[in-house]
Amino acid sequence: MLESKRKPILAPPRLKKKWDVYIDSEQCDGCGVCASFCSKELLKASENTNSRMLHFIEIINPEECVGCSQCERLCPVTAIYIREIDLDEDVNDES
Amino acid sequence: MKISDELCIPEEAYEHPLRERLNLNRFIFCPGCLIGTAITSITNSLREKGLTLKDYAIVSGIGCTGRSSGCFKAPAFHTTHGRAIPFATGLKLANPKLKVVVLSGDGDLFAIGGNHFIHAARRNIELTVLCINNNVYGMTGGQVAPTTHIDDITSTTPYGNMESPFNLVSLAAAAGATYVARWPGYDTLRLQKSIIKSIDNDGFSFIEVLAPCFIQYGSKNQLGDAVEMLDWLRKQVKIETNVAPHKATFDFKKGIIICGEFVEEKKEGFSKRIKQLRERAHNKINKK
Amino acid sequence: MMSPKSIKNSSGIKQALVTGNTASAEGAIAVGCRFFAGYPITPSSEIAHHMSRRLPEVNGTFVQMEDELASITCSLGASYAGVKSMTATSGPGLSLMAESIGLGVMLEAPVVIVTIMRGGPSTGQPTNASQSDIYQTRYASHGDYQIIVLTPSTVQEMYDLTIRAFNLAEKYRNPVIVASDGFLGQMMEPLYYHSDFEIVNRKPPQVPPEKYKPFEVFDDDLVPGMAVAGTDYDFYVSGLTHDEEGNPDQSPEAAVKLIKRLSDKIINARPEINDWEEKYLEDAETILLSYGINSRGVPEAIEKLRAEGIKIGYVRLKSVWPFPDELMEKIGNHGISKVIVSEMNYGMVIREVQRFRHFFDVLGITIPTVIPFSPKFLYKKIMEEIN
C-alpha cells in the first residue's frame, strides 16, 4: 500500500513542456555569450552570415532546450528568446 | 524584426517581451558587451514592478554606458560627463513621485563625478545608481580610470598603472548609501532582483555591475575576447552574504571578486525629508 | 519710476526696503519659480539665503548643492520635471557652470542664472561691483550658441528683469542670464511688489505621445513643444548633436541644421528681446551708451551737459545679448555722429558698438574699475571726449 504512488487529488495536472527558441538572426551580433552560458551547450555560431556579415548564433538541437532562459536574459541585444509551451501530455503519464 | 527561416519556425510570431520597452536602433555597444545585458535587466525589473514610462526616468552620463539612456522607451536624459547624479537629483526633488535610475560608467561616476556621488549618497537622495564598471574609459579609447588595477596597461599607462583603484562598494557605503550591492553582469537573475530592491529602497541605492571591457581593457592586457573574458571573470567571482563593505575584495591579481549585497539599511530619504521644511515654514508663518 | 498697482504679494507686503539680491529672489517667486539649487558665493549668497527661507513657504524646493556644477545641472533636471528653476552665482561660479549652460542650450531647457558680477579675473575682489563678465555671460560655454542676458540697474529692475528672464526662458526654451553686480546686489532701495506682469509657461507638446519627437518644430518661432518626465511622453534628449527624434547624428548636415535652428530661435526674436531706455535721442549729436549699475550716474551728468548747451542724449541697455543691432541702426538713422560707450571693464560692449562705426564714431570710457562712475567723473570724461 505504502509503495503505491501517491498522487495529489486536487492538484491540476502537471503538463510536459517544450521550449521554442527564437533567434533573430538580423539582430544577432554573433558575440557568443549565449552559447557560452547555455546549460546544455545547444548554441553555436552559424556558418552563414546575416546582412551585416556577422555569423549569427543558431541552435543545434532545439528539442533538448530545458528552458533555463540564461540565453534570453544574457543577450545584450534581445536577439534570442524562448517561449514555454505546455504540451498535452501529463508529466506523470507513462503511457 | 525578422525570424530566420533556417531555425525554429513558430506558428504565430512571438516577439521578445521586452522589445516594446526598448529602442533597438540605439544599441551601439560592441558585440558581447554586458551593458546591453544591464539595460535589458533594468527593463525587466521595471516591467516586473509594473512601472510604466510615466513612473520613471533614466539619466546617464558620457561614455559607453552613457549611450544607454536612449535605449529605453522612457524619458531619457543623456547629460554631460559626471553630472548625471545632480541632474537626477533635480528631477527627483522637483517630482518626488518619479523613480529615477542613473546609469553611468565608473569614470563618469567616480572620477569627474566623484564629488556628486559622495554628496548624493550623504544626502540619501532616493536614486538608483547603477555603475557599469568596465575598469577603463572605454568610449574614448581605453584610458586609465579610477577603477583600473595596478600594473594594468591602458592608453595612458603604457608602462603599467601606478595607482590603486577605488573599492566602489566600500566608497558608496562610507559615503552613506543605504543599499549597496555588487553583481557580475552575467548574473542577471540576481541583478534583476537587486534592481527591484534598489528601486523599492527609499534612499540612495548603488549597484556595481561588473562588465569588463574586452575591446579596450582586455586586448591591452591579453585577456581575450568577450567569451574568454567572461570565463576569466566567472572564475574570480564569489557570491557571499554578510560581508562588510570594506572587506568586499575586488582584486584581479589575487583573483577574488566578492559579490553580493553589502548594505541594506532603512533611512529616511532626502526628498521626503525636504518636504518637512515646508511644514516648518508654514508653522513659522502661522505663529506670527 | 513706474506707478505700481499695489497688490499684496504672497507674503502680504506691498512695498519694502530690500537689497537687490532679495528683489531678484522675490521676482523669481512672483513669476512662479519653485526650485532653486545653488552654492554660496559672495556677493550672491543672499539670493540663496532668501530662497531657502521663502521657497518652503510657497511649497517650492531649495537645495544647497556641493558645487556650482551640481547647482546648474540640478536646476536643468528640475526644469525637465516641469518646474521653473533657477540658480545664482558670480563670475568664478559662472566659469564652473559653463559646460552645463551649453547642455541647457542643447536640451532646450528653460533655466535662469543670476550672476552678480564682481571684480575679476580669478578670485579678484569679491565685495566690489564690476562689469568685467559681460563677455563671459555671452561666451561662457563652448560651441556656437545664443544666450539672452539682461542687465538691471536698480533694485526694482532686479525684480522686474528676473521676472522677464523667466518669461523669456520659458518662451524660447533657452538659458537666460540676469547679469547684475556686487553693489546692486547688496544695496537697498524701495521695491514695489507689483503683479503687473504676465506669466509665460513653456509650450506643451503639440502632438500625442506616439507621434512626439522632442525637437520637431511646427511653429515659426522655431521652439519645439516640451514634454517633461512623469507624463505619458517618452523622449530622448542629449547633449550630442541630434536630429528631430533626439537620435545622435554626427553628420555635417545635422550640425548645420541644429545650430542654425537653435541660433535663429533667439536671433529672430531679437526685436522682442531688445530692451533699452533712451532719452534726448531726437536732437542729440552724441549718445552716451551704458548698462547696469554704471548707468546710475548718467542722467545727472547728461542734464548738466545739456544745461551747458551740449546736444547729448543717452541710452541705457536693459538687455545686452543678443546685442541690440536694431538700436544701433536707430541711432544711426537719427544722424547721431558720436556714441560714447561707458562701462566698468577694459572694453567689451564697445567692441559690439564698433561694428557700427560706419554709422557714427565710437569712443569709450572703458575703465576696469570696481566703483561705478560718478556724475562728476562722467561729466569730466565726456567733456574730454567731445573736445
Q: Which residues of A touch B (CB under 8 A)?
A: 20-27, 29-33, 35-37, 46, 48, 54, 56, 58-59, 62, 70, 72-78, 81, 83
* Domain spans of chain C, in order of start: 15-192, 276-386
The pLDDT of residue C86: 97
Residue C241 C-alpha cell reads as 548633436
Q: Is residue A7 part of a domain?
A: no
Alpha helices, DSSP H, located in chain B: 34-48, 84-94, 106-107, 114-123, 168-175, 188-200, 219-220, 226-236, 270-287
Beta bridge partners of C64: C38
A73 contacts on B by Cβ (under 8 Å): 37, 40-41, 44, 188-189, 192
Looking at CATH, the fold of the domain delimited by C276-386 is given as: Rossmann fold (3.40.50)
Question: Mind giving me the DSSP string for C4-52?
Answer: P-----TTS-SEEEEEHHHHHHHHHHHHT--EEEE---TTTHHHHHHHH
Question: Would you say the CATH fold of C276-386 matches that of C15-192?
Answer: yes
Cβ(C216)–Cβ(C153) under 8 Å? no
Q: Is residue A93 part of a domain?
A: no
The pLDDT of residue C14: 81
Band of pLDDT at residue C194, cut at 50, 70 and 90: confident
- Chain-centroid distance of CA B63 in Å reads 13
Beta bridge partners of A19: A84
Interval C269-304: pLDDT, tens: 999 999 999 999 999 999 999 999 999 999 999 999
Interval B180-224: pLDDT, tens: 999 999 999 999 999 999 999 999 999 999 999 999 999 999 888
Pairing of strands C175-181, A80-90: unpaired
Separation of alpha carbons C207 and C386, rounded Å: 60
Band of pLDDT at residue A5, cut at 50, 70 and 90: confident
**Helix orientation angle between B84-94 and B270-287, rounded to the nearest 10 degrees:** 50
Q: Is residue A64 part of a domain?
A: yes
Interval C329-359: pLDDT, tens: 999 999 899 999 999 999 999 999 999 999 9
Separation of alpha carbons C187 and C128, rounded Å: 12
CATH of the domain at A35: 3.30.70.20
* Domain spans of chain B, in order of start: 30-287
CATH of B30-287, one of 2.60.40.1230, 3.40.980.10, 3.40.50.720, 3.40.50.970: 3.40.50.970
User: For the domain C15-192, what is the CATH code?
Assistant: 3.40.50.970
Q: Buried b / exposed e across C166-204, counting CB within 10 Å, b at 16+?
A: bbbbbbbbbbbbbbbbbbbbbbeeebbbbeeeeebebbe
Looking at the complex, does the CB of residue B277 fall below 8 Å from at least one CB of chain C? yes
Asked whether the predicted pLDDT for residue A3 surpasses 80, the reply is: no
B227 contacts on A by Cβ (under 8 Å): 31-33, 35-36
Interval A44-60: pLDDT, tens: 999 999 999 999 999 99
Q: Is residue A8 part of a domain?
A: no
Interval B39-90: pLDDT, tens: 999 999 999 999 999 999 999 999 999 999 999 999 999 999 999 999 999 9
Looking at the complex, does the CB of residue C85 fall below 8 Å from at least one CB of chain B? yes
Range of the domain at A55: 17-86
Cβ(C193)–Cβ(C15) under 8 Å? yes
The pLDDT of residue A1: 55
- For residue A79, the distance in angstroms to the closest alpha carbon of chain B comes to 8
Q: What is the mean pLDDT of residues B13-35?
A: 90
B3 contacts on A by Cβ (under 8 Å): 22, 24
Q: How many domains does chain A have?
A: 1
Q: Is residue A71 part of a domain?
A: yes
Residue type, C370: V
Q: For chain B, give the number of residues.
A: 288
pTM of the model: 0.91
Nearest to B4 among A25, A36, A74 (CB): A25
Contact A83 B231 (CB under 8 A): no
Nearest to B226 among A33, A46, A72 (CB): A33
Q: Verify cis geometry, omega within 30 degrees of 0, for the bond prior to A62.
A: no
> What Å distances lie between residue C229 and B15, C48, C75, C250, CA to CA?
28, 26, 14, 26
* Residue carrying C-alpha cell 538541437: A61
C248 contacts on B by Cβ (under 8 Å): 67, 70
The pLDDT of residue B1: 39
Which residue does chain B place closest to A78, by CA atoms?
B16
Cβ(C133)–Cβ(C115) under 8 Å? yes
* Sign of CA pseudo-dihedral B131, B134, B135, B141: negative
